[in-house]
Amino acid sequence: MDWGIKNRLSRIIKPATGRTVMLAVDHGYFLGPTHRLEHVGRTVGPLLDYADALMLTRGILRSSIDPETAVPIVLRVSGGSSIIGDDLSNETIMTSMEDAVRLNVAAVALSIFVGSDYEKQTLESLALLVDMGQEYGIPVLAVTAVGKELGKRDARFLSLSCRIAAEFGASFVKTYYCDEFEKVVESCPVPVVIAGGPKLETELDAFKMANDAIQKGAAGVDMGRNIWQNDNPVGMIKGIRAVVHERKQPEEALEIFNQSK
Ligand code: 5RP
């Protein structure tokens, strides 16, 4: 791996533990003003001290995040469809690598939609982004999107998507947690982080999911709604950090959450 890519990646995936707690706030790129993300700056401000990286679009970065922040930025560069459009998978690259360099990002992120009508288009975008990333020393995070079909979140589909992302040169991959998640990790030669998905019923459920993912080989989480849609978002991110970096049990994370109320 090139020095620049390795150096940037080590700002996200912490060498001390080999893991990361990324905070995802990029949802507006296709969902618009998501609940609790109407004012991203206000939501994110209290959480920044606990995030190893912040994932968002350039518009929200420039408008809502203090440029003096030390938190590494993972810049979402893909998009082009919305929740009310015809096909969520019709995405392409919407932000240039030059702008990513201007923004001093630690990585760029793009969704691939394996199995969709736009499979080839999104894989071509990934290939192009990896080429540009190699040129500038910027790692690429591939997000294995499922569109509206949440049912596709099984080990067979996610292994296929993660492996294809790695074959195309992604430096790390973001996917969903699923049954037999160890199969997804084992067949993917680059680090895998998990999205949280829609807000779970209880905090303990979220801590358990993070714990199970780490136990089965994940390099961490890139979590959004289960953190900032909670009434105690700081407690949530502290609990998640405890699971990911300190390998606390989910019940201990829940105690940390309750103490932080
Ligand atoms: C959407 C994304 C989101 O960042 C991702 O889904 C993480 O957020 P959440 O934990 O809310 O699912 O990449 O494609």
Average pLDDT over residues 7-25: 98
Q: For residue 148, is it within any domain?
A: yes
Write down the residue that tokens 């790390």 correspond to.
Answer: 172
The CATH number for 82's domain is 3.20.20.70
pLDDT of residue 224: 98
Q: For residue 91, is it within any domain?
A: yes
Phi and psi, residue 245, nearest 5°: -95, -35
Closest atom of ligand 1 to 55 CA is 4
Q: What percent of the chain has pLDDT over 70?
A: 98
Beta-strand pair 92-93/78-79: antiparallel
The Å distance, Cα 198 to ligand 1 centre, comes to 8
pLDDT of residue 147: 72
Say which DSSP state 179 is in.
T
Q: For residue 42, is it within any domain?
A: yes
Provide the number of structural domains found in the chain: 1
The Å distance, Cα 164 to ligand 1 centre, comes to 20
pLDDT digits (tens, 9 = 90+) for 228-253: 999 999 999 999 999 999 999 999 99
Q: Does residue 7 have a pLDDT over 70?
A: yes
Q: For residue 138, is it within any domain?
A: yes
Q: Does residue 114 have a pLDDT over 70?
A: yes
Q: How many residues does the chain have?
A: 261
Q: Does residue 261 have a pLDDT over 90?
A: no
Average pLDDT over residues 27-41: 96
- C-alpha pair distances (Å), 229 with each of 158, 194, 249: 26, 17, 22
Domain of residue 187 covers 3-192
Q: For residue 134, is it within any domain?
A: yes
pLDDT digits (tens, 9 = 90+) for 73-112: 999 999 999 999 989 999 999 999 999 999 999 999 999 9
Confidence of residue 151 (pLDDT cuts 50, 70, 90): low
User: Mutate which of 25, 73, 143, 150 to test ligand 1's pocket (most atoms within 8 Å of Cβ)?
Assistant: 143
Confidence of residue 254 (pLDDT cuts 50, 70, 90): very high
Which residue owns the Cα nearest ligand 1 atom 13? 143
Q: What percent of the chain has pLDDT over 90?
A: 96
Which of 81, 20, 204 has the alpha carbon at shortest distance from 9? 20
